[in-house]
Amino acid sequence: MAYKKSVKAYLFITPTFTVMAVFVFFPLAYAFFISFYSWNMSSPAVFSGLQNYVNALKSEQFWNSMLYTLYYVLGVIPFSLIFGLFFALLLKDKEMRGVNVYRMIYFMPVVTSPIAAAMGFNWIFENQMGIANHIIEKMGFQGVDWFTNPTGVCQMFFNRFGINLPVFLKGPSLALVVIILLGIWQNVGYATVVYLAGLQSISDSYYEAASLDGANKTKKFWYITLPLLSPSTFFLLIMFTISSFQVFGPVQIMTPSGGPLNTTSVVVFYIYRQAFSYYNMGYAMAIAFLLMGIILLATLFQFKFLERRVNYE
């Protein structure tokens, strides 16, 4: 009888497992196999061992792409969490007039097509006719070359004092800043919904007890709301870290050439160009698995050192 139940169970999962095997497991295994070969998709693959990985680790372009990716990650995640929590606190009150409409508006960027969103931001920050420069000029300032100035934003500030910063401190270019703003805009709605669910799960008894002890709103926020929202924060941190390291669509749409002097060439965009522009398939696959390893290490680091600070009720 137990054997028949096992057979039925395996029959039920066979369609899903077959789809996963064909479209996930096999491509993943084949990509890992190709990463040990030199292959341009037109001539036979030549075994090169770990040479693709060695070339990647020695490549200045690879490390630059990782630096620009890190700029994106550090720019998107903190502000997505902060603004998401801010809007969740605003929308917590169910008695507020039109609260459901506001919730829908804040969530719309999440379901908006990434391509459409990227094209919209591209139009807003267009150097000559964009709305952003139009507003800046109306305020009496000179328009900004958003997509043509390769100088990092930190370096732009220190240029006034004649100080030249190291590469990793120069900051993202203005083009990458625009892409970061788009990433924040797309993530805030999701963070708002997750934080809103977390806020609604906090019992009012905690706040009532704190009021009896004389706690004001600030202390309630720091000592009750934030600690009890730590599971939501931890979940969002994991999800945003993984997605931010894999950013590609906005870069491809807004800066198809990789931005001024490749200052928006994040690592996935770099993989794409190596694979489909230069046809270095083995090299591109090696970089892809290096990126997977980096994301895995970042996730394990978060679980190892940050989960202990999460307060599960």
CATH architecture of 57-309: Orthogonal Bundle (1.10)
Q: Could you state, in order of their start, the residue ranges of all structural domains in the chain?
A: 57-309
Q: Which tens digits make up the pLDDT trace of 121-138?
A: 999 998 888 899 889 888
With b meaning 16 or more CB within 10 Å and e meaning fewer, what string describes 181-202?
bbbbbbbbbbbbbbbbebbeeb
| pLDDT value at 272 more than 70 | yes
Phi, psi of 37 (to 5 degrees): -125, 155
Q: What is the pLDDT of residue 250?
A: 92
Average pLDDT of span 196-203:
89
Q: How confident is the model at residue 10 (pLDDT cuts 50, 70, 90)?
A: confident
Name the 3-class secondary structure at 288.
Answer: helix
Q: What is the pLDDT of residue 3?
A: 65
Q: How confident is the model at residue 36 (pLDDT cuts 50, 70, 90)?
A: very high
Tokens of 205: 């008894």
Half-sphere exposure of residue 208: CA atoms within 13 angstroms, side-chain side? 4
Tell me if the pTM is above 0.75.
yes
| Alpha carbon of residue 4 to chain centroid | 46
| pLDDT value at 306 more than 90 | no
Give 203's DSSP letter. Answer: -
Least confident segment among 40-54, 91-105, 157-171, 172-186 = 91-105
User: What Cα–Cα distance (Å) separates residue 295 from each residue in 49, 95, 242, 257?
Assistant: 23, 42, 6, 25
Q: What is the pLDDT of residue 106?
A: 83
Q: How confident is the model at residue 2 (pLDDT cuts 50, 70, 90)?
A: low
| pLDDT value at 1 more than 60 | no
Residue with structure tokens 């941190």? 237
Q: Mean pLDDT of all residues in the chain? A: 90
User: What Cα–Cα distance (Å) separates residue 26 from each residue in 19, 21, 46, 180, 291?
Assistant: 10, 6, 21, 34, 19
At a CB cut-off of 8 Å and minimum separation 6, what does 294 contact? 66, 245
| pLDDT value at 261 more than 80 | yes
| pLDDT value at 313 more than 70 | no
Residues 167 and 268: their CA atoms lie apart, in Å, by: 21
| pLDDT value at 95 more than 70 | no
